[in-house]
Amino acid sequence: MLTLVVSWFDDAQLTALDDTEPNYRRSALPAGCGVLGAMSYVSRWGVLAPGGAPLAPTSQTDVFRRLRVDPLLAEWLAADDATVVEALREPGLALRVRERFAALGWSRPTGLET
């Protein structure tokens, strides 16, 4: 089951979200979605799609387990889930990980690009 959360933000709150979420960009939902003026935050980097199909919603632990199937990602990302975020603070590592996703064919556009 997927839970959807909708929030109503004022201009100051939207600006705060824009400023604090550099990996996402605000985008209007496609025409015909049924909610006029609705916006979503879309990943600048696409979605994780090993095997060609986007991953279904799952736990962070499951995502990390799947990533560690690749020897380079297993080497780069901490063995302990709790320290992966800290590992990604290493200069340049997040970019190398994104490039590795692309090289493996594991990243795809979100389908919400405008």
Q: How many domains does the chain have?
A: 2
- Residue of 109 and 79 predicted with greater confidence: 109
Residue 1 pLDDT exceeds 80: no
Q: Are residues 22 and 56 in the same domain?
A: no
Prediction pTM value: 0.72
The radius of gyration of the chain's CA atoms, rounded to the nearest angstrom, is: 16
C-alpha 89/C-alpha 99 separation (Å) is 16
Q: Are residues 31 and 55 in the same domain?
A: no
- Give the domain extent around 33: 1-44
**pLDDT 10s digits, 41-87:** 889 889 999 888 898 888 988 998 888 899 999 998 877 888 888 88
Q: Are residues 2 and 33 in the same domain?
A: yes
Q: Are residues 58 and 114 in the same domain?
A: yes
**pLDDT 10s digits, 11-46:** 999 999 999 998 899 888 777 777 777 888 889 889
Question: What pLDDT does 28 receive?
Answer: 83
Q: Are residues 55 and 67 in the same domain?
A: yes
Q: Are residues 59 and 5 in the same domain?
A: no
101 burial level (CB within 10 Å; 0-12, 13-18, 19+)? buried
Q: Are residues 95 and 108 in the same domain?
A: yes
